[in-house]
Amino acid sequence: MKQRVAKLIRLLQATLYPNIYYEGEYKQEFLPTVVAECWQQSAVLLYDVAKDALGSTCEYAAQMKKDQARCGDVAEWIVKEFMTSLPDIAEVLNTDITAAFDGDPAARSKEEVMLAYPAFEAITVYRLAHRLFELK
């Protein structure tokens, strides 16, 4: 599960900031295709992770064992709500990037903040996880 969540985080980062986090090479004119591919892979993986997590939590375990379809329905709802909120998450992250850049006279670019500041990665994970928490 932990490895799948780490992969999900990488995919979501590539969806939000493909110029920084996408691991493959692409021509700029194919950027929308790259984002769509990362978005789709993120949605599929999030569904699998959410379904597994729901099936193992105390709150849902007994109910889900009786009705696996319900577990899938809840996971599907989570995916839809979460994935449609990615633009809002990106907007907040952009303010985080700007704040870090503006607040550090040594920062040479916003890309540097995204690539070299461990705090930005932590904030990204927090913002993504917090949105999932809100959907509980």
pLDDT digits (tens, 9 = 90+) for 54-100: 877 655 556 555 566 677 889 999 999 999 999 999 999 999 999 99
132 neighbors 81 (Cβ within 8 angstroms): no
Instruction: Report pLDDT for 26.
Output: 86
Buried b vs exposed e over 49-73: b needs ≥16 C-beta within 10 Å? bbbebbbeeeeeeeebeeeeeebbe
74 neighbors 54 (Cβ within 8 angstroms): yes
Cα angle value 92/112/96 (rounded, 5°): 15
Residue spans of the domains in the chain: they are: 2-134
Q: Give Cα 83 distance to the centre of its chain.
A: 8
CATH topology of domain 2-134: serine acetyltransferase, domain 1 (1.10.3130)
Mean pLDDT of 108-127: 97
Question: What would the two tokens of residue 57 be?
Answer: 């939590």
113 neighbors 129 (Cβ within 8 angstroms): no
